[in-house]
Structure 1
Amino acid sequence: QPTKPTKFETDKAKLRRTIRQALSQAGSFDEFASLLLREGVTVKESRGRLSYLTPDRTKPITARKLGDDFDKAAVLALLTQNAHRAAEQTTAIPEYPHTQKERLREEKTAKTAPADNTLQRMVDREAKRAEGKGVGYDRWASLHNLKQMAATHNFLMENELLDLDKLDAAVESSRKALSEARESLRGIEQSISDKKSLRKVVNDYRR
């Protein structure tokens, strides 16, 4: 009679399927992490080794326990293959020639784009499609949104703000600091205005 698999073995099998599905869609490690995060799985790297934390566990499952296909080297190799394949497919799609105005707009956007390590707003893909944005933009927006989801989660985790009470307290503290800064700015603006008025009075008196 075959031995019934333990819960841990069943959990590992389910996790392997989730990881494989994410790997089949991702073209970078950030995208891979984002796709896993959508399924409730957090991938972590420590000393060059990967581990995967599922929602129902307090300790992550190491890649070594899942198999060689899930260690860092294998994951990065597959992601690189996916990225090359996606690049080849993108190159194969003919692009409409850009007008000079569009090129200038893209160059301006590239110059003013925030750094990759800053949190950015999510892109409303449906609204952009309605504006007439094409497949290439939609693909970029999808990847951008996934990266922002992962970046936001990492930011909250690094700053210990995953707890809603702590997050609310941090937001309230920021609001208070912003309010105080605005009030201080009003005082400075009033002082500048008063000095300008005084200077005008002095100049008028000298005349």
Structure 2
Amino acid sequence: MATTRLIPMHVIKGQTVAHTVHERLSYAINPDKTNNGQLVKAYGCEPETAAGEMLLCKKEYETYIGRSEEKKSDIVLYQIRQSFKPGEITPEKAQEIGYELAMSFAKGKYQFVVATHTDHAHIHNHIIFNSTSIDHTQKFRNFLGSSEAIRKISDKLCLENGLSIIEAPKQGPSHYGKWLGDKKPLSWQEKLRQTIDTVTAQKPADFDTFLKLMVESGYEVKQGQYLAFKAGGQQKFTRLRSLGEGYSEEEIRSAIFGKTVHTPKAKRPYRKNPDKINLLVDIQAKLQAGKGPGYERWAKVFNLKQMAQTINFLTENNITDYETLVEKTKAATDRYHELSQQIKEIEKRMTEFTDLKKHIINYAKTKEIYTAYRESGFSAKYFESNTENILLHQSAKQGFDSISSSKIPSMRDLQQELKTCWELKKSTFKEYSISKKQLKESLTVKSNIDHLLSQNTENRKEKQR
């Protein structure tokens, strides 16, 4: 994974522009940090003379515009810091990705130096580019969203090279190496999905080529009843069928042979203010509680939006009168409780099957010991030496006596019953989730309508008085 940060580099206090440029670049290309200078690469200049060439470009820019920029702006360089997860990448690959990032972001218009540092546990790049363009006709302007643009480019490059990413690294004054870990790392399943996305994007000729590319991406392949992959450092194999829709062996084969198109698993977009119906704000009560005019203005706008969404709900559900709303709300409530009860009953049955399965296993495992105990005339000495197994056997027999059916099911039948219950629970829970959402919307809409009706009643009484 890689985190990025764009840093404007100002003139060092009390120093000149020339001193600042030399100082910043000297730190970046320090031989002790860059494997004796082998991990330094430049564009539009030479690493050894980069400071002088960048300063010359700045002089030509001043000549071009006819005035000095030193007093107008003290930003002389920009730096992109790109940090990688420890143990996930080599210094050479990190420098290659850093150079591609700089070229993609600066579009070849600005001189830059990429210095890959290996003096910390996390390999990281210092990408320093000149604030003045190579053709000395313009200066780089740090636009709104530039950090986000850099992050997206970096993430794309990481995914193309089979590396994990952090979706939203924190920006702030803390050292950039500490960003790693601010976000929960990607699961093995998500890493495998991303690698499959990258490999299928290369359009392998056949399935064997696909498997070869997966091996080259660092995965071990296990082919049997179910195709599975294991990354370096991973303890267990991950089956393709566990990755969800679009990632089964059949679906990948179909995409490779051009029958279908492989679509990466869509991520749920983050929405700060999702479109949902909320309860109306009681403005008068809030004002009496001490809220000011600013809150009143906000609350009025908020209530207008919520009423618009409330009306949309009524229109979409063809609700034209209050009685219909009450009926639909009651129906949603009943359905929600019905599904909730169904899930509880399924879970209870699954618990019974699980307990019965445990009893069958314990009974079979301890049968010979209990037979010997019985043949010994229930010897106290034999009981002391085999207490645990004898108690397990007796507990299993009591469990069998408690079941309603006289016939104890086989382990195969029991496994099938558990599988059936699990599938039923999944399908019921989907319907339950939808029902829960519908109930919440109905209750909120009804509360909003009740609030409006009560306000209208109060207003009529006030007018009558």
Structure with the bigger percentage of strand: 2
TM-score by length of 1: 0.36
- Asked which structure has the greater RCO (Cα within 8 Å, sep 6+), the reply is 1
TM-score by length of 2: 0.18
